[in-house]
């Protein structure tokens, strides 16, 4: 038998589903439910026999059986990057699977939307890979369905109903704080326990725990504090997947295509988990044990409260990662995670380069807006990478990041804020986005930023002299001539040097770019590991 059905599934509207509330418990539970809908529940809904051994084990998820040789009812090609691709022995099996899965999602993850598409094909006559293959056609169909997808409008209540405090939907119960909650919120809260257990099993936290509330991120409850919302994404992953797909355009290469796609997907998963574990290890190593408790930072800036590290992954296990940490650790932790990830090579032989956006906001700032800002900053880093890939640079394999300190809130979009707050008559105050790979190729690098920040914080002519640094900040905003005047009044030497930018040390500017404003702005929000 060579007639099969190819099925592709994806989720829709997950950003609002995961990040639409300031309740960390719900954020974590929602992320876990999305993972269940695309992995755990998929396995439970598959007909027997199938090829899954343990989908949560990136080293041995499949048992090696093949649908064309071993009489399987279903074979999962891969599950990652938001997509799940499955081959069924018949369309009836595919439809029955879709019914079982969607029923479970409706019951156990209300509010979560999934989209599926099916296509019949002949193993001997139809190619899975290639630009005209079954996978390409079905992915296009899925994209069209997602674009045209009409989200179901929930019934807001019949007769006299009470509204959920978080969603406005009809309430069905109360949370531990006696707030009314809907079925969607209840499902997320109930899922948090399983999500916490999975994270603790997946990552070794060195004897520490992880926060379950935004108030646990290194501050005293009730005090003003800041968190960093970090969104990272892989560079050119779509292109890499298309290149891999196009290497197998014939029917004789169907099995080779499946194996290569599977290996690539698993290598992404393994690399992300390895980088996450390395980041946690580095954070644990940075903890200082004092008589009055555990701290992070040379000056005990961040206190470890109730044995919880001020770091919490929300979406992880793939190239698209979101985590939250104490606002003062946002830059350091993100840079370290990206460095660890970009050192690893995926199954296609290329490094796992990525970009990131870091939004540092007040602890109870609207989380959906904080995530949206981090996403915008991630796109800003992507634009930098694309620019460096074009002539005259022609670079490849870049890792870069951008950030913003929304200390007073953020109402306008990022480009408008940058234009209004960081554009002066002399030019652009920002050096960001900054690159992490090959810092010698561009002065706008993480290494440059970190070195300048260290100088302002530790050098004897700068350390502890806030009025002096504030005067430099004002001079930078006024332009090169104001900086030269500042030097004559306050300094016996030049500003910290920046390689390849000879005017920076004397004027603070090179052309229309400033080299020091970012470091000054970050001083209160930057704790090195």
Q: What's domain 203-411's superfamily in CATH?
A: Reverse transcriptase/Diguanylate cyclase domain (3.30.70.270)
Query: How far is CA 223 from each of CA 21, 187, 214, 297, rounded to the nearest angstrom?
Result: 20, 30, 12, 20
Mean pLDDT estimate for the chain: 91
Give the confidence band of 221 by pLDDT, cuts at 50, 70, 90.
very low
pLDDT of residue 159: 66
Rounded Cα distance, 219 and 457, in Å: 22
**CA angle (189, 193, 199) in 5-degree steps:** 120
In the sheet that holds 293-296, the strands lie side by side as 287-290, 293-296, 302-303
The tens digit of pLDDT for each residue in 312-325 reads 999 998 889 999 99
Return the H-helix or E-strand segment holding 174.
strand 173-174
On the question of pLDDT at 3 being above 80, the answer is yes
The two three-digit tokens of residue 374, written as one number = 């981090």
Residue (of 495, 524, 488) closest to 510 by Cα position? 495
pLDDT surpasses 70 at 411: no
Question: Would you say residue 449 has pLDDT above 70?
Answer: yes
On whether the CB atoms of residues 509 and 425 are closer than 8 A, the answer is no
**Residue 504: both structure tokens together:** 């920076």
pLDDT at 219: 58
- 8 Å CB contact between 449 and 431: yes
**Which tokens in the block code for residue 210?**
């992880």
Give Cβ neighbours of residue 365 (< 8 Å, ≥ 6 apart): 22, 406, 409
Question: In angstroms, rounded to a whole number, what is the distance separating the alpha carbons of residues 469 and 528?
Answer: 20
Burial class (CB in 10 A: 0-12, 13-18, 19+), 489: exposed
β-pair partners for 83: 80
Confidence of residue 149 (pLDDT cuts 50, 70, 90): low
- Residue 415: count other Cβ atoms within 10 Å of its Cβ: 10
Nearest to 215, CA basis, from 405, 21, 363, 408? 363
Q: What is the pLDDT of residue 446?
A: 96
pLDDT at 223 exceeding the cut of 60: no
What distance in Å separates the CA atoms of residue 110 and residue 318, rounded to the nearest whole number? 24
| pLDDT tens for each residue of 95-143 | 999 999 999 999 999 999 999 999 999 999 999 999 999 999 999 998 8
pLDDT for position 442:
94
Assess whether pLDDT exceeds 60 at residue 297.
yes
Domains 3-147 and 203-411 share a fold: yes
Stretch (H or E) spanning 467 = helix 466-478
Q: Which of 61-65, 170-174, 302-306, 434-438 has the highest mean pLDDT?
A: 434-438
> Of residues 440 and 407, which shows the higher confidence score?
440
Phi-psi region of 307 (alpha: psi -120 to 50; beta: other; left: phi over 0): left
Domain map of the chain by residue range?
3-147, 203-411, 423-529
- Per DSSP bridges, beta strands 226-234 and 74-80 are unpaired
State the average pLDDT over residues 398-425: 88
Burial class (CB in 10 A: 0-12, 13-18, 19+), 398: buried
Confidence band of 150 (pLDDT split at 50, 70, 90)? low
Q: Rounded to two decimals, what is the model's pTM?
A: 0.93
| Lookup result for tokens 């005047």 | 485
Whole-angstrom CA distances from 139 to 94, 100, 318, 524 are: 16, 22, 19, 46
**pLDDT one-digit tens code per residue, 240-282:** 999 999 999 999 999 999 999 999 999 999 999 999 999 999 9
CATH superfamily of 3-147: Reverse transcriptase/Diguanylate cyclase domain (3.30.70.270)
* CA-closest candidate to residue 279, choices 351, 206, 347, 371: 206
């Amino acid at each position: 038998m060579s007639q099969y059905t190819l099925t592709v599934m994806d989720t829709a509207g997950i950003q609002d589903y995961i990040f639409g509330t300031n309740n960390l418990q719900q954020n974590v539970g929602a992320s876990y439910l999305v993972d269940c809908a695309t992995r755990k529940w998929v396995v439970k809904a598959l007909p027997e026999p199938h090829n899954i051994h343990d989908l949560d084990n990136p080293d041995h998820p499949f048992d090696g059986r093949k649908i064309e040789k071993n009489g399987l009812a279903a074979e999962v090609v891969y599950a990652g990057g938001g997509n799940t691709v499955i081959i069924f022995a018949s369309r009836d099996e595919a439809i029955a699977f879709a019914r079982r899965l969607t029923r479970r999602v409706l019951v156990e993850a209300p509010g979560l939307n999934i989209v599926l598409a099916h296509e019949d094909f002949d193993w001997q006559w139809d190619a899975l890979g290639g630009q005209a293959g079954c996978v390409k056609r079905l992915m296009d169909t899925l994209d069209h369905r997602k674009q045209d997808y009409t989200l179901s409008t929930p019934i807001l209540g019949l007769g006299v109903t009470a509204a959920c405090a978080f969603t406005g939907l009809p309430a069905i119960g109360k949370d531990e704080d006696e707030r009314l909650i809907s079925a969607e919120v209840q499902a997320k809260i109930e899922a948090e326990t399983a999500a916490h257990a999975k994270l603790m099993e997946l990552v070794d936290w060195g004897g520490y725990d992880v926060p379950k509330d935004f108030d646990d991120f290194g501050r005293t409850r009730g005090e003003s504090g800041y968190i960093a919302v970090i969104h990272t994404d892989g560079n050119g992953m779509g292109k890499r997947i298309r290149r891999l797909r196009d290497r197998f355009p014939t029917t004789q290469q169907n099995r080779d295509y499946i194996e290569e796609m599977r290996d690539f997907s698993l290598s992404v998963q393994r690399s992300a988990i390895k980088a996450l574990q390395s980041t946690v290890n580095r954070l644990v190593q940075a903890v200082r044990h004092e008589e009055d408790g555990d701290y992070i930072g040379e000056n005990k800036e961040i206190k470890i409260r109730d044995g919880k590290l001020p770091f919490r992954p929300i979406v992880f296990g793939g190239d698209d990662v979101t985590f939250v940490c104490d606002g003062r650790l946002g830059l350091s932790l993100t840079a370290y995670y990206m460095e660890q990830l970009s050192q690893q090579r995926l199954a296609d032989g290329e490094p796992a380069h990525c970009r990131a956006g870091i939004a540092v906001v007040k602890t109870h700032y609207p989380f959906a807006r904080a995530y949206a800002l981090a996403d915008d900053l991630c796109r800003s880093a992507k634009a930098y990478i694309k620019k460096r890939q074009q002539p005259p640079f022609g670079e490849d394999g870049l890792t870069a990041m951008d950030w913003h300190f929304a200390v007073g809130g953020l109402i306008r979009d990022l480009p408008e804020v940058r234009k209004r707050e960081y554009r002066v008559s002399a030019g652009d105050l920002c050096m960001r986005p900054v690159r992490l790979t090959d810092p010698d190729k561009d002065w706008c690098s993480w290494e440059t930023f970190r070195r300048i920040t260290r100088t302002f914080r530790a050098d004897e002519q700068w350390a502890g002299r806030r009025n002096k640094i504030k005067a430099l900040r004002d001079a930078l905003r006024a332009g090169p001539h104001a900086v030269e005047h500042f030097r004559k009044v306050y300094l016996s030497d030049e500003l910290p040097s920046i390689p390849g930018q000879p005017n920076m040390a004397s004027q603070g500017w090179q052309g229309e770019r400033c080299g020091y404003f970012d470091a000054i702005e970050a001083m209160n929000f930057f704790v090195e590991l």
